């Protein structure tokens, strides 16, 4: 056991003081801090400016439409300026144009954008304009609101899980990914260690003194400890970045 601990301590010291250990952890720190930094600063960016044109007969309240839109601001415009608005979208002065018109008696949206559409804005506007159309139809047709509410009420779905695993799904994916990185990285480190020993002819000196089985398990356990140390560093940097906001 003493010879095994000697091999283990030797390889552990070599692994923890190696350049690859410090470089890999430095890259990990930069990635985690960078992801948190991008997320932090992107959340304070200005809202997208989207021109809104209403060609339908439905009364639309712009103040109500803008409520709930965290990533965009709707600006009311007239259809006669559509060519100028499209040019502004091409030039980057506007982020998009949303036109509301009627199709077969129902409201329809046309979303004009330069490269990428804001799906969140489209989904929220679709829902709000649909609610406005339904309310207008109910009022004009003199339909009992209680009857209309029953007709448009969605079917309720109640999920009854026999075992609640929702709290562990994310953890499972995280640890599966970490296990993949651990196996891939540590396996490569063991191969590099064996290659370095053969190149320096250390094995010719060690084998007469220590059993090969001790050396093999010593390398494997050292890589396990170093891998766990990498995970601890990742968790610490994650917690520190999260605490800093």
Note the pLDDT of residue 225: 86
Least confident of 75-89, 135-149, 191-205, 225-239: 191-205
Query: In the β-sheet with 106-112, what is the strand arrangement from edge to edge?
Result: 72-76, 48-54, 96-103, 106-112
Q: What are the pLDDT digits (tens) for 100-155?
A: 888 877 788 888 888 777 777 888 888 888 888 888 877 877 777 777 777 666 66
Looking at the chain, the whole-number percentage of residues with pLDDT higher than 90 is 0
Parallel, antiparallel or unpaired: strands 96-103 and 72-76? unpaired
pLDDT of 228 higher than 80:
yes
Note the pLDDT of residue 114: 80
Stretch 44-65: mean pLDDT: 79
Note the pLDDT of residue 42: 62
Tokens 């839109």, located at residue: 69
pLDDT of 41 higher than 80:
no
pLDDT of 45 higher than 60:
no
Rounded Cα gap, residues 238 and 225, in angstroms: 20
Average pLDDT, the chain: 77
pLDDT of 164 higher than 60:
no
pLDDT of 79 higher than 80:
yes
Note the pLDDT of residue 166: 56
Note the pLDDT of residue 57: 80
Stretch 201-226: mean pLDDT: 75
Note the pLDDT of residue 1: 66
Note the pLDDT of residue 126: 82
pTM beyond 0.85: no
CATH number of 48-152: 3.40.190.10
34 confidence band (pLDDT: 50, 70, 90): confident
Where do the domains of the chain lie? Answer: 2-30+166-243, 48-152
Note the pLDDT of residue 67: 79
Stretch 47-54: mean pLDDT: 85
CB distance 139 to 70 below 8 Å? no
Q: What are the pLDDT digits (tens) for 82-99?
A: 889 888 888 888 888 888
Closest among 157, 104, 107 to 127, alpha carbons compared: 107
Rounded Cα gap, residues 157 and 185, in angstroms: 45
pLDDT of 202 higher than 70:
no
């Amino acid at each position: 056991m003493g010879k095994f601990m000697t091999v283990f301590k030797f390889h552990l010291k070599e692994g923890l003081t190696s350049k690859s250990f410090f470089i890999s952890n430095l890259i990990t720190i930069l990635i985690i801090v960078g992801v948190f930094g991008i997320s932090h600063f992107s959340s304070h960016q200005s809202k997208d400016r989207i021109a809104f044109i209403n060609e339908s007969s439905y009364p639309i309240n712009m103040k109500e439409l803008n409520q709930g839109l965290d990533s965009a601001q709707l600006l009311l415009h007239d259809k006669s300026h559509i060519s100028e608005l499209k040019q502004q979208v091409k030039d980057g002065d506007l982020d998009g144009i949303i036109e509301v018109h009627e199709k077969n008696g129902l409201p329809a949206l046309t979303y004009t954008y330069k490269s990428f559409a804001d799906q969140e804005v489209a989904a929220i506007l679709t829902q709000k304009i649909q609610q406005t159309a339904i309310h207008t139809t109910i009022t004009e047709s003199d339909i009992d609101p209680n009857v209309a509410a029953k007709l448009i009420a969605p079917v309720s779905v109640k999920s009854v899980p026999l075992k609640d695993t929702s709290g562990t799904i994310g953890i499972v994916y995280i640890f599966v990914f970490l296990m993949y990185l651990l196996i891939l990285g540590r396996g490569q480190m063991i191969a590099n260690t064996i290659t370095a020993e053969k190149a320096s002819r250390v094995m010719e000196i060690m084998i007469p003194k220590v059993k090969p089985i001790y050396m093999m398990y010593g390398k494997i356990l050292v890589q396990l400890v170093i891998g766990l140390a990498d995970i601890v560093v990742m968790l610490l940097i994650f917690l520190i970045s999260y605490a800093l906001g």
